Amino acid sequence: MRMYNPEWEAIKDFEHVARCREAQFDLVGLELPEDHGFTLYEEIARHLPWLRQTPEAGIHPVHGAPNGRNTNLVINHRVKLVLRLPIERLEAAKVLEGKHINPGSGDLLIGSMKAKPLTPYATLYSPFVALGTTDEADFIAAARRELEDMDIRCGLIPGKTRSMHTPNGVIGGHSLMLHDIGLLQSLAIQERGLGLHRGYGCGIFIPHKSIKEVGGG
């Protein structure tokens, strides 16, 4: 018998429909660089040029496993390419099906797409938020200001320092956990994101079941 979970019961009865959804694609290939935010965006934008004019669109970091030889990540059958897109752009994103991309470590084939709704959890996590600073105190202050501009009050737990290389220099930031968020606010954060460089995978939040693991992530 499933244990009673008050958060899940609240989500189950929540009827608000988010403006964005996840476009999840199968991904076939061998490896991609761990630091792939910029190159992956450029490869996807070759096939979806409207991404450059859609600031609310984002591309999730690809979560492959370390290969043990260098800084590349291994692609297996469970690894997906996931874009967070406005609902009205989902059909246009299907153009990616069957396309080949090379984010820096060889050819990858994009498979079929499935659209999935956003889930309003009270705890959200982003592996990389870029707010123009890597100083933890300044980072927290900048995050709070942006959340306050969205009329959102919640707990913040910064994690590891992150960095990403681009032709214009290194982007720095932290991973970030947000907790004790209302369900409608949770969807607002997932729709809008936080900070800069959504296309590179920064500031995209996903539901998280625990606040205990952020210090290691």
User: Is CATH 3.30.70.1890 the classification given to domain 20-117?
Assistant: yes
pLDDT band of 9, cuts 50, 70, 90 = low
To which residue do tokens 């153009």 refer? 95
Q: What is the pLDDT of residue 215?
A: 46
Nearest to 172 by CA among 204, 202, 140, 142: 202
pTM for the whole thing? 0.90
To which residue do tokens 């990389």 refer? 128
CA angle 127, 69, 31 (to 5 degrees): 60
- Where b means 16+ CB within 10 Å and e means fewer, 118-157 reads bbbbbbbbbbbbbbeebeeeebbebbeebbeeeebebeeb
Q: Which CATH architecture has domain 124-216?
A: 2-Layer Sandwich (3.30)
CB 130 within 8 A of CB 202: yes
Where exactly does CATH 3.30.70.1210 map onto the chain?
Answer: 124-216
pLDDT band of 185, cuts 50, 70, 90 = very high
CA dist 51 and 93 (Å) reads 10
105: number of Cβ within 10 Å: 20
pLDDT band of 4, cuts 50, 70, 90 = very low
CA dist 110 and 27 (Å) reads 5
CA dist 110 and 46 (Å) reads 13
| For residues 8-34, average pLDDT | 83
pLDDT band of 195, cuts 50, 70, 90 = very high
pLDDT digits (tens, 9 = 90+) for 105-150: 999 999 999 999 999 999 999 999 999 999 999 999 999 999 999 9
| For residues 10-36, average pLDDT | 86
Where exactly does CATH 3.30.70.1890 map onto the chain?
Answer: 20-117
DSSP symbol at 32: E
